[in-house]
Chain A
Amino acid sequence: MMASWLLVERNLLSYRRTPAVLLSAMFEPFIFLFGLGVGLGKLIEDVEWHGDAISYPAFVAPGLIAVAAMNGALFEMSFNFYFKLRESKTYDAVLATPLSLRNVVDGELSWAMLRGGLYSIVFLVALALFGLLASWWSVLIPFAALLVGLGFASLASWATTFVRGWQDFDLFFLATQPLFVLSTTFFALEVYPEWARPIVQATPLYHGVDLIRDLARGTLAWSSVGNVAYLCAMVAVGRALATRRSAQLLTT
């Protein structure tokens, strides 16, 4: 565990000189909430959530926290992971030290999780400031966001081991864009026809959005346990696959 943390130290050291990369992402929530609250939100009527009528910004904003956690983790485990894996050979250098391949994967996943988590905490603060949180359960949102970040980091790192060149990332984001738009971030599951709902419920971002929205609204249910279980499974499977694939690439 401590050994894996050293990769996080390495990343902190490298980002110390380029804080703009991290800072830029922090403006995003404010821009979104402003646009939703002042603009779009005025055009859309209240929506129903677990029997309550809530404002559209109050509905969308928790979903955007999950999206922020996903994006932070994805960015880290796509471009950055690829660069260090294939181009700069950073991991080859790390593997010449006592650190193991497992340390490398766990360290990078932790970092991606923290980055996603950081984005979502900024979002959460913004939500609180805009008065969009309805429950004390909201204090658990950062943990939920970390889990979402770790889940996406795990799967993304596995996917990135198959990337052969920068152009392949078009495919990568072709897969993640629909998640952003369709995972009940902008409208509730009930909007979909009956047959489409299980498909949406099978996708990973849905579980992050649903969980964080329930925490923000205080509407936790058995489905929330399902959300957590799904995300934990995503972490376990993604991490195991990523470790195996990285070993095939780095220690042959």
Chain B
Amino acid sequence: MAMAVEARSLTKRFGEFTAVDGIDLTVERGESFAMLGPNGAGKSSTMRMISTVSPATSGQLSVLGLDPATDGQAIRSRMGVVAQDDNLDDALTVRENIMIYGRYFGLSWAAARSKADELLQFAQLEDRSGAQVNSLSGGMKRRLAIARALVNDPDLVLLDEPTTGLDPQARHLLWERLYQLKERGVTLVLTTHYMDEAEQLSDRLVVMDQARIVAEGSPSSLIAEHVSKEVLEIRYPAEANVDLADLGLRTEELADRTLIYTDRGEDTLAVLVNSGRTPSSSLVRRASLEDVFLALTGRRLVE
């Protein structure tokens, strides 16, 4: 069976500006794939090309084995898209939003109605079925947008920053629903600038920065490859001028703290304390994708 998504030297330019600069990527069927990167990295432009609404400037792209330039309609009939800004229909109720979407996908009114009821249950919105979209919370809107994108039982679901702007509780509920989809064998492609989201949801990811892919792999392999197991975060008073060069470890100076990449955080901390360099505060944690991004680009994901 053809790959869910296959891109070779995929490029998108808007005039002089290059939004996506010759990226290669492959997403297998049933896989959950993330594009991690800061705002402006080219994630959304890539998503728009995959969703067939934005023609590629150059390079090859195939989605579900078809060419977006010529088979857009066939691709879209097997795909669900959750846009960054939800773009729900404000003039309709929660249930009608799903129903009319079902109609757009060719369902009869009867089928659209029963599909809507099924999906409202999936999105835990049954009790808001007759509500206007404007009265929903951010988390509910996002769940409705996901429910609506599932109306055609898609093989591939695209989610552009699915949890941006949501509170932690709403995020976890959403992750749980997305995990359910993945369990059912639906291919997920999502963008995010949250490393914990990429870690939670993706089997494999690419890290994007400035229109290019800078790393690719599973969350754990990326961490193993680019950073240490653990990270020791320390703070010194502003006037202190502490030299850490003798540790022989990679360090990263941030505005408010210093990161030390080490395989044994507690031991490294002990070395500092024993040599009279006790920090005013310290924290040992597991290395994350955020550290990978920092190591690769020298910048943080979420400023």
Q: Chain A residues in contact with chain B, CB under 8 A?
A: 6, 9-10, 13-14, 88-90, 92-100, 250-252
Complex: A92 Cα to B77 Cα, angstroms: 15
Among B14, B77, B100, point to the contact of A252 (Cβ < 8 A): B14
Q: Which residue of A lies closest to B148 (CB)?
A: A93
By a beta-carbon cutoff of 8 Å, the part of chain B in contact with chain A is 14, 51, 53-55, 72-73, 76-77, 79-81, 83, 85, 87-92, 96, 100-101, 103-106, 149, 152
Contacts of B91 in A (CB 8 A): 14, 88
In the complex, what residues of B have CB within 8 A of residue A88's CB?
Answer: 87, 89-91
> Which residues of A are found within 8 Å of B83, using beta-carbon distances?
89, 92-93, 96
Decide if the interface of chain B is mainly helix, strand, loop or mixed.
loop
Would you mind naming 23 contact pairs between A and B with Cβ atoms under 8 Å apart? A6-B104, A9-B100, A10-B92, A10-B100, A13-B92, A13-B100, A88-B87, A89-B87, A90-B87, A90-B89, A92-B83, A93-B87, A96-B79, A97-B76, A97-B105, A98-B77, A98-B104, A98-B106, A99-B104, A250-B53, A251-B55, A252-B14, A252-B54
Q: Within 8 Å CB of B73, what residues of A? A: 98, 100
Residue of A nearest to B152 (CB): A97
Q: Are B87 and A97 in contact (CB under 8 A)?
A: no
CA distance A89 to B73 in the complex (A): 20
Point out the residues of chain A lying under 8 angstroms from B101, CB to CB: 93, 97
10 closest Cβ pairs, A-B complex: A14-B91, A89-B87, A97-B104, A96-B81, A93-B87, A98-B77, A98-B73, A92-B87, A251-B53, A10-B100
Q: In the docked arrangement, what's the CA distance between A99 and B102, Å?
A: 12
- Across the interface, A95 reaches (CB within 8 A) one of B53, B89, B106, namely B53
Q: How far is the CB of B91 from chain A (nearest CB, A)?
A: 4
When the two chains form their complex, are residues B85 and A89 in contact, meaning their CB atoms are under 8 A apart? yes
A99 proximity list for chain B (CB < 8 A):
104
With A88-B87, A90-B89, A93-B83: A6-B53 Cβ-Cβ less than 8 Å: no
**Which of B54, B89, B103, B106 is A93 in contact with, Cβ under 8 Å?**
B89
Interface contact A251-B81, CB-CB below 8 Å = no
Given known contacts A92-B83, A96-B83, A99-B104, A10 and B89 CB-to-CB distance under 8 angstroms: yes
Is the beta-carbon distance between A98 and B87 smaller than 8 angstroms?
Answer: no
Docked CA distance A10–B77 (Å)? 19
B13 to chain A, nearest CB (A): 11
The residue in chain B whose Cβ has the minimal distance to the Cβ of A96 is B81
Contact across chains for A94 and B104 when beta carbons are under 8 A apart: yes
Cα of A95 to Cα of B52 in the assembled complex, Å: 9
- Once the chains are docked, how many angstroms separate the CA of A90 from the CA of B97? 11
Chain B residue numbers with a CB within 8 Å of A14 are 89, 91-92
Task: Give, as a whole number of angstroms, the nearest-CB distance from B240 to chain A.
Answer: 51
Q: When chains A and B are docked, how far (Å) is the Cα of A10 from the Cα of B53?
A: 21
A6 touches B103 (CB 8 A): yes
Complex interface: chain A residues within 8 A of B104 (CB): 6, 94, 97-99
**Assembly CA distance A6 to B85 (angstroms):** 23
- List chain B residues, Cβ under 8 A from A90: 87, 89
Q: Do A96 and B51 touch (CB < 8 A)?
A: yes
Closest to B72 in A: A100
Q: How far is the CB of B234 from chain A (nearest CB, A)?
A: 46
Chain B contacts for A92, CB-based, 8 A: 53, 83, 87
Report chain B residues within 8 Å CB of A96: 51, 53, 76, 79-81, 83, 149
Chain B residues with Cβ below 8 Å from A98 are: 73, 76-77, 104-106
**Shortest CB distance A87–B (Å):** 9
Kindly list chain A residues whose C-beta atoms are within 8 Å of the C-beta of B106. Answer: 98
B residues near A10, Cβ cutoff 8 Å: 89, 92, 100, 103
